[in-house]
Chain A
């Protein structure tokens, strides 16, 4: 009998553990959503005193420019090299521009820029807010009747949301320039065919506009995760470092998962094409 009691206790313990984990995840999701709603309602300050948001655009956008531009250039150059190898087998090397432009505008631009943005700017936002919490600066603000969400969190969120689409566009533009450098200048694809085939194949609404929508969605997701993890961090050195890691991991997974969902919505079941 004692044996069966032991097994029952063990099973009960496991189930409790599982249930606790699920409840914690659901509670955290709910807290993150409430946090987002609260931030939207208290975004007035960030948008009225736009200079606050402007400083954040500087930190998240301008300081990410170098890494975005350099990676964009190299991604475009690699695409052109690899694409040429394959296309040339079918005698279709003139389609190189189409390949480079479509893969950058539809997928690589928003996704890779989003991943870089998450690791370059998202982690910095989390660390900053987390450290402010650990050093009780947020509590100090509350004591002075300044809402830390309105004063600290919302400007960083909006700064990220504004920066991300611009960074993705710069990434795509730079990538296409890199593809042009390798394809036309180095390999010697005809420049006329490169640009005209690209222009014939890339549609402004269904390719470029959808890419911009993707980058806006990624910007909201990454900024939201970054400010939430920072605000929710355990206020110790270890807690802040964990929150920073979680920001990068969660945002990267969120970007890739959202990309699949958005691609499935945008590019399938389209106009018979």
Chain B
């Protein structure tokens, strides 16, 4: 085998291999969309976070504006403290509401931000005061059943009193 032929083929092989790695990193992975952009952190307390996970998206009006960075349990208030990294390009008023929502019926859970009307913007380390917890299916069903029971009971009591 000729020397230069080997060199050319090895060169092609290495270029193709590195090209495949770049394809995986850029086209398949999310390196291009989430490179080291500037972020700022805000915290929010939730009574229940449902199935929220670290790295879940933070969306406002459906646009991804950040990621969940950390989830902790607060020993004093018995609530969950969720820390989110927001893209520095997006500014939100201080009275923004944070909700834990689900995309679709069986989809993943994410944090939804709804902008308020305050003129002062959120800074690094601020806390979101207005939060709404995740909807837990069991709580919802039991609430529904209680309401049903109350409804069917109410007419009966009326009849008995009449």
B31 — which chain A residues lie within 8 A by C-beta?
204
CB distance from B108 to the nearest CB of A (A): 10
B125 is an interface residue with CB less than 8 A from chain A: no
CB distance from A236 to the nearest CB of B (A): 29
**Contact with A170, one of B6, B20, B71 (Cβ below 8 angstroms):** B20
A273 is an interface residue with CB less than 8 A from chain B: yes
Whether B17 and A165, one on each chain, are in contact in the complex, defined by CB atoms closer than 8 angstroms, is yes
B29 is an interface residue with CB less than 8 A from chain A: yes
A173 — which chain B residues lie within 8 A by C-beta?
19-20, 23-24
Given contacts A172-B24, A198-B28, A208-B28, contact A167 B10 (CB under 8 A): no
**How far does the alpha carbon of A203 sit from the alpha carbon of B6 in the complex, in Å?**
36
Whether A167 and B17, one on each chain, are in contact in the complex, defined by CB atoms closer than 8 angstroms, is yes
Given contacts A62-B13, A166-B13, contact A101 B28 (CB under 8 A): yes
Whether A65 and B13, one on each chain, are in contact in the complex, defined by CB atoms closer than 8 angstroms, is yes
| B contact face: mostly helix, strand, loop, or mixed | helix
| A contact face: mostly helix, strand, loop, or mixed | helix
B71 — which chain A residues lie within 8 A by C-beta?
272
Given contacts A58-B10, A203-B29, A273-B54, contact A105 B24 (CB under 8 A): yes
Whether A202 and B29, one on each chain, are in contact in the complex, defined by CB atoms closer than 8 angstroms, is yes
Whether A105 and B54, one on each chain, are in contact in the complex, defined by CB atoms closer than 8 angstroms, is no
User: Chain A, 206-225, contact with B by CB distance < 8 Å: what is the 0/1 string?
Assistant: 01100010000000000000
CB distance from A268 to the nearest CB of B (A): 15
Given contacts A54-B7, A55-B6, A57-B10, contact A172 B20 (CB under 8 A): yes
**How far does the alpha carbon of A65 sit from the alpha carbon of B27 in the complex, in Å?**
22
User: Chain A, 43-85, contact with B by CB distance < 8 Å: what is the 0/1 string?
Assistant: 0000000010011011001100100000000000000000000
A65 — which chain B residues lie within 8 A by C-beta?
13, 16
CB distance from B76 to the nearest CB of A (A): 22
A207 — which chain B residues lie within 8 A by C-beta?
29
Known A58-B1, A170-B16, A212-B21; 19 more pairs at CB < 8 Å: A54-B7, A55-B6, A58-B6, A61-B10, A62-B13, A166-B14, A169-B20, A172-B20, A173-B20, A173-B23, A173-B24, A199-B29, A200-B30, A202-B28, A203-B29, A204-B25, A204-B31, A208-B25, A271-B55
The 10 closest A-B pairs by CB, nearest first: A166-B17, A173-B20, A204-B29, A169-B20, A204-B31, A169-B21, A62-B9, A170-B20, A58-B6, A62-B13
9 A–B contact pairs at CB < 8 A? A58-B1, A65-B16, A166-B16, A169-B17, A170-B16, A176-B24, A176-B28, A195-B27, A207-B29
Mark B residues whose CB is within 8 Å of A. 1, 3, 6-7, 9-10, 12-14, 16-21, 23-25, 27-31, 33, 53-55, 71, 106
